[in-house]
Structure 1
Amino acid sequence: MKKRIKMVDVARAANVSRTTVSLVLNGIPGVRIAEATRQRVLQIARELGYSPGPLIENLDPERKRLFGVLINEISAAYPIDLIYGLQNWADAQGLQIVLQVTDSVADREIAALENFARFGVEGVIYANTFTAIVSPPASLGNFRHVLVNCRREDSIGFAILPAERHGGMLATDHLIEIGCRRIATITGDPWQIASIERLAGYHRSLNRAGLNLGTQFERASDWGHASGYAAARDLLALSEPPDGIFCHNDIVARGAMAAARDMGRKVPEDLAIIGYDDREFSRDLGISSVTLPFAEMGERALAELAGNADLADKTVTIQGRLVARMSTNK
């Protein structure tokens, strides 16, 4: 049987990221991709014989199963991974998905669900770019549905979330295991669920090891490079500075590494740094990280939605994994 060509094959042949291939082949608007790169991706996809999957009209009548995906935005690597996971699972099962982007505007969500009803979708995935408490429109209840990377305040519905607390523990435990004893953290926006949960995992690991040095070793950021840089400089100016920093995303970790360099600290000899999300640039820069399992979350969501079991009021968490690189390789 001839091997099915996937986006990862196109990405490898074109020497670009899987995210770039997904953006080009799915025709996602509003993203900046050089025209030469776009044309190269399209040309290689044609040469390799890439196909996004069977068209609905070509499927056996008994297998024409269509599912809707409602997402607030496509502006970062994470939703691309989610969509990639959904598409891979759908292709493998002979299913079709239709995507609607709403910008979290209630009227657009209602209109999208009306479209889904006209298309004849049998189930809907309601997804959010960042982990959040959501209030979906009442008409979502007309469909069999799964919430992804979000949940309702009242916990009604089947929801799938990343295991953020577990991820915070993975990162902190790794720093402990390599010998760090003054472990600081730089969170994202303090009000976001991801920050709250990752910080809770950090506390749990430190408390278990008897290494919690209190809030003097905690700083907040806006998830960006500049704020990560500033927070790390502040921590490294302490009379007893940290020998390890758990940054709540890889962009913050990149800023922390720049701060360490500018202050004459060697990474990882003087300061071990670990991030979160496992962004593509982290591989190039050697930043240790914890993966955000969006592809796995998408696969699990569609599997649940396409199955026959009742979707109970339940929240399921999917664990990421630790990826150790140079920044913690003492």
Structure 2
Amino acid sequence: MKKRVKMVDIAREANVSRTAVSLILNQVPGVRIAEATRQRVLQVARDLGYRPGPLLDELGDRKRLYGVVINEISSAYPIDLVYGLQNQADAQGVQIIIQVSDGVPGNEVAALENYERFGVAGVVYASTFSAVVVPPAELERQRHVLLNCRREDSTGLAILPAERHGGALAAQHFIEIGRRRIATITGDPWQVATKERLAGYHRTLNRSALNPGAAYERSCDWSHGGGHAAACELLALPQPPDAIFCHNDIIARGAMQAAQERGLRVPEDLAIIGYDDREFAKDLGITSITLPFLEMAERALTELIGDAPLEDRTLSVRGRLIPRATTGFMN
């Protein structure tokens, strides 16, 4: 049997990122991609004989169609949710339809009503960022899984990243490399990811009697500038931190700039950990915690396609710590 061509094969042959291939082949609207790049990817896909999955009229009695509703696709890593869903659909021999709602309830309802008319076998209701959501009542009429989100009352099957575990991983890594004045720069305080990562960080430091308290905590808007400003404040303390856990890699990049401006060596004087493991983190040598979006998406579609009842439960998928130069490990 001929080996199935995957998006990663196209990315390798076309010399572009897997994300770019997914955006182009899934025809995601509102994304800026050079036309030359788009045409090269499409040509490579044709040359390799790529097919996104079996055609509906080829499936016969196995014909199954699934819907995906996602609020937006606007940043680097949520595309992994889409890629993971598509990859798993290919592996299972089913088709998926993706609707981007822009977070507008009316658009969500319209998508769900369309899915009903199409006769989909189930729906993945996904969020770009981990969130507590109130899905439309129309979702209850469909077999469904919540991806990267959950309801307030935890009803339904929800797949989420183990954010608390990620915060604990960062704090534990600092402790293991001998750091004792450990600070953190969070994202927006109201976000689920911020609260969970901070809780894991606190728990681990408390267990080791190393929690320096609120004086060593800052929050920002997830940006480079916000990370830089927050790190400047922390490094101006009478006893500045010797380690900073940043809640994303962009914040970590800003903290690295602040350290450099003060003549501090990373990691000798200041160790830094980021989160998300974005592509530039490897280039800059940033130790980072992965967001397991691929694994989450694959698990969500696997559960949805299965025959077992979808019970009320939340499944947490753990990321990994990738040690790099900012905590003293060679790339």
TM bucket by the smaller chain?
over 0.9
The alpha-carbon deviation at position 103 of structure 1 amounts to 1.1
| 1:17 correspondence with 2:17 | yes
Distance 1:135 1:192 in 2: 15
Q: Deviations over 1:25-54 (max 9, x none)?
A: 211121122222222222222222222121
Distance 1:327 1:291 in 2: 16
Structure 2 unaligned regions, length at least 5: none
TM superposition outliers: structure 1 runs of 4+ over 6 Å: none
Distance 1:89 1:309 in 2: 18
Residue 169 of structure 1 corresponds to 168
1:170-185 to 2 correspondence within 5 Å?
170-185=169-184
Distance 1:196 1:169 in 2: 12
SS of match in other structure, 2:20? helix
Counterpart residue type for residue 38 of structure 2:
R
The alpha-carbon deviation at position 56 of structure 1 amounts to 1.1
Residue 214 of structure 2 corresponds to 215
Counterpart residue type for residue 138 of structure 1:
A
The alpha-carbon deviation at position 88 of structure 1 amounts to 1.0
1:233-244 to 2 correspondence within 5 Å?
233-244=232-243
Q: Deviations over 1:116-160 (max 9, x none)?
A: 011110111101111111111111111111111111112111111
Normalising to structure 2: TM-score of the pair? 0.97
Q: Is the 8 Å Cα contact of residues 77 and 278 (structure 2) preserved in structure 1?
A: no
The alpha-carbon deviation at position 107 of structure 1 amounts to 1.1
Residue 324 of structure 1 corresponds to 323
Counterpart residue type for residue 293 of structure 2:
F
The alpha-carbon deviation at position 4 of structure 1 amounts to 1.7
Residue 44 of structure 2 corresponds to 44
Counterpart residue type for residue 328 of structure 1:
T
Distance 2:41 2:257 in 1: 33
SS of match in other structure, 1:129? strand
1:102-113 to 2 correspondence within 5 Å?
102-113=101-112
Counterpart residue type for residue 306 of structure 2:
G
Distance 1:111 1:261 in 2: 51
SS of match in other structure, 2:19? helix
Counterpart residue type for residue 187 of structure 1:
T
1:1-330 to 2 correspondence within 5 Å?
1-59=1-59, 61-329=60-328
Distance 1:251 1:49 in 2: 38
The alpha-carbon deviation at position 298 of structure 1 amounts to 0.8
Counterpart residue type for residue 78 of structure 2:
P
Distance 2:253 2:49 in 1: 38
Q: Is the 8 Å Cα contact of residues 133 and 150 (structure 2) preserved in structure 1?
A: yes
SS of match in other structure, 1:150? strand
Structure 1 unaligned regions, length at least 5: none
Distance 1:284 1:250 in 2: 12
Distance 2:280 2:203 in 1: 29
Counterpart residue type for residue 4 of structure 1:
R
Distance 1:254 1:13 in 2: 31
Comparing 172-181 with 41-50, greater Cα deviation is found at 41-50
Aligned length: 329
Q: Is the 8 Å Cα contact of residues 71 and 126 (structure 2) preserved in structure 1?
A: yes
SS of match in other structure, 1:310? coil
Please tell me the root mean square deviation across aligned C-alpha atoms, in Å. 1.1
Q: Deviations over 1:74-128 (max 9, x none)?
A: 1112321011111111111111111111111111111101100111101111011
Normalising to structure 1: TM-score of the pair? 0.97
Distance 2:243 2:71 in 1: 35
Distance 2:268 2:16 in 1: 32
Over the matched positions of the two proteins, sequence identity in percent amounts to: 70
Distance 1:191 1:324 in 2: 28
Distance 1:42 1:266 in 2: 45
